[in-house]
Amino acid sequence: MKYLFLLFMLFGLFSCHEIEFLEHQDVRIARDEWGVPHIHGKTDIDVVYGLAWAQCEDDFITLQEQLLAAKGMLGEVKGKDGLVVDFAIKFMGLREEVEARYDIEIRGQHKDLLNSFVDGINAFAKRYPEEVLLDDAFPITNHDLLVAYQLGLVDISGAGNDLRNILEGNIDQEEKLPVGSNAIAISRKKTDGDKTFLAINSHQPLEGWYSWYEAHLSSNEGLNILGGTFPGGFMIFHGVNEYLGWAHTVNHPDLSDVYKLRMHESKPQHYYYGDTILQLERRTYHAWMKLWGPLKIPITRTIYHSIHGPVIKTDQGYFAWRFVASRNLRMSEQWWAMNKAKNFDEFQQALKMQAIPSTNIVYADRYDSIYFISNASVPVRDYGLKWSSTLSGDSPSSLWEEQYYPLDSLPQVLNPESGYVFNTNNSPYNASHADDDPLETDLNDVMGFQGDTLYNNRSRQFLNLIEQYSELSYLDFKDIKFSTTYPDTLTSPTMVNLELLLSLNPDKYQEISDAISLLNKWDRNTNIDNTTAALFIISLKRLTALLASEGKINRGGLITEEDCVKAISQAKDEMMDNYGQIDKALGEIQRHIRGEISLPLSGGPDVLAAIHTQSLDNGIYKGVAGESYIILAQFDSSGVQIETINAYGTSAEPNSPHFTDQMERYVNRQLKPMSLDIDKVFEKADTVYHPLRIINRPM
């Protein structure tokens, strides 16, 4: 027994390690006056390690929340709300998709980059254990990160709309369209000098999982790019390098299908598929839900899958869901290739991977190429079926395989005569001057892009403004980008006749005649001093809520006079209750708020300088989405000049000086100059340091 005890002691001595942290000498992080990280590494792999470390320094909580959800552990921290996300990921089978595809699709440098980024997160968690939300969640793995990416792609591709429709019983409803982003590229055919302009202006949430994080990445292996990524992204999702830049906006192809299953009459959990009878696959999942303090309870759910995908039982029957977004793990590899591209040919070669399942792309470069494509991995489908409706689950012809239409079949415009391309989440068949637009063909019957007859207010206003210029200066370009005015005729893809909201007869509705008269005379501007903009924005919010409650958010939908009267009445009542007047200046009601800072905020839903708000208990509307991270670039033959702004600041840490330091510039539309010259950046930096790495040493 004595010898056995000594043996255990010896084993313990040889297997016990002390964790030691040393500076990662191959990576340097420079923080500029705004706290933006400029990360330089000896290799690309070194750079992504530094990016992971910088993200953890600035917003470790948000990064952890995403990865907890990917691991199915968010409920242990966020309670019921987190548990919903945990089981949504399990329902979609994202973990199973990653595990099945990982060894096939994740190879070479792509795998090394993932490893390095994950190592950086885990090292930070080890160094600062007091900031870890849940000890059991670490170490993070490559699989966890990829599951988080898949979740984001499901959301961005619009696939989740079908899931919501099933759960809400709106099986045949069109999807609710996303609210927006802008991207503009202007070639030297249209500018007043030798510069090509690019506006990168995604309308994301201002905070949270899918808010923009600004970073500059540079290596000795040719990487040099500045732009935006989300917490957890190991590359720039859209931005500018020394040669080119691109912007993403959300598009609306049909990348998700719903099938009604024909269940067997006497065999439970069996369904018909062609000439066969198949049994639903049963999957049981377990998770924990936090109640209060350290108290947690176990939760178990059973989820069923058919040959099509995950299955939901509702009062209307069994429905299966099939979507594109989780069927490729190489999306980060494609983005990395886009980051390192040096010309249009290299950039397009990256696009041909078709690993990013959706989003429009607007591109410009120093060689004066401009380009628009409505990027999508659209499955090859049977022309004989109506893919916008619920499909029959027992028909094999409705089950598409993983074969997608090639890149050259998608709507796109390269170097148009008009000298500009743009997208404001409008139809991809309206991407330039009418003479240069892509033609909508019968192929769109299976692709499902928004048709060329539907506009939004941003697309109408952009076209109104751009056609006023034979050539633009950079200041003209900025004026267009920051326009806060609605077009002469209001519209929306889901409210085509939205102009009706501004054109009611005040004599017909005496109780709201004062509000109608104000709206009739409104100049359509949403600057902070405007005294009708708030009434319009609140009326539009009430109108949208009314249509949603009645299941009327449909592509190509129309509103009625009765709808408008109800909305304006509710808006008037709210304004009188909260402010005692209906002509309150917008900036007194609509605010840009973080911590103790509250600033007047211009803009509104679907103007070019778009802002979306949420109401607070005190009657104030807080900006929560829309104008977020903005990049404006000017390319010439020698390189690029860049200006950027973010909504709040680089850090999500309330005690950081960079928690709110960009807010005043943001509301005043004052951008900050940024440089890709890494040597000059380091010379002027406020701080320069190395991230730490773990060195395991035997005790």
Q: Which two tokens stand for residue 333?
A: 């590899």
Pick from 589, 591, 548, 586: nearest CA to 567: 548
Task: Please state, in angstroms and as integers, the Cα–Cα distance from residue 423 to each residue in 433, 462, 628, 663, following that order.
Answer: 12, 9, 17, 26
Query: What confidence score (pLDDT) does residue 699 get?
Result: 46
- Give the model's confidence band at 167: pLDDT under 50 very low, under 70 low, under 90 confident, else very high: low
In the chain the domains, ranked by start, together with CATH numbers, are: 498-627 (1.10.1400.10)
Cα separation, 195 vs 426, in Å, equals 26
Quick one: which of 260, 261, 258, 237 has its CA closest to 249? 237
| Mean pLDDT, residues 668-691 taken together | 98
Question: 74-107, pLDDT tens digit by residue?
Answer: 999 999 999 999 999 999 999 999 999 999 999 9
Instruction: Identify the weakest region by mean pLDDT among 347-351, 370-374, 553-557, 579-583.
Output: 553-557
At residue 1 the predicted structure's pLDDT band, cuts being 50, 70 and 90, is very low
Element (DSSP H or E) covering residue 119: helix 108-127
User: Percentage of the chain with pLDDT > 70?
Assistant: 94
Residue 554 pLDDT: 85
Given a cut of 80, whether residue 164 has pLDDT beyond it is: no
User: What would the pLDDT profile of 199-223 be if each residue is shown by its tens digit?
Assistant: 999 999 999 999 999 999 999 999 9
Indicate whether 344 pLDDT > 70. Answer: yes
pLDDT for 479-510, tens place per residue?
999 999 999 999 998 999 999 999 999 999 99
* pLDDT for 455: 86
pLDDT band at 553 (very low <50, low <70, confident <90, very high): confident
- The pLDDT mean for the chain works out to 94
For residue 466, give the nearest of 430, 422, 508 by alpha carbon. Answer: 422
pLDDT for position 175: 42
pLDDT score at 454: 76
Q: Report whether pLDDT(3) > 70.
A: no
Q: Is the separation of the CB atoms in 179 and 609 below 8 Å?
A: no
Least confident of 154-158, 264-268, 361-365, 468-472: 154-158
Instruction: State the pairing for strand pair 597-600/590-594.
Output: antiparallel
pLDDT bracket for residue 620 (50, 70, 90): very high
Q: What's the pLDDT at 173?
A: 40
Confidence of residue 170 (pLDDT cuts 50, 70, 90): low
Helices (H), 237-369: 331-340, 344-351
CA distance 148 to 144: 6
Distance CA 460, CA 375 (A): 22
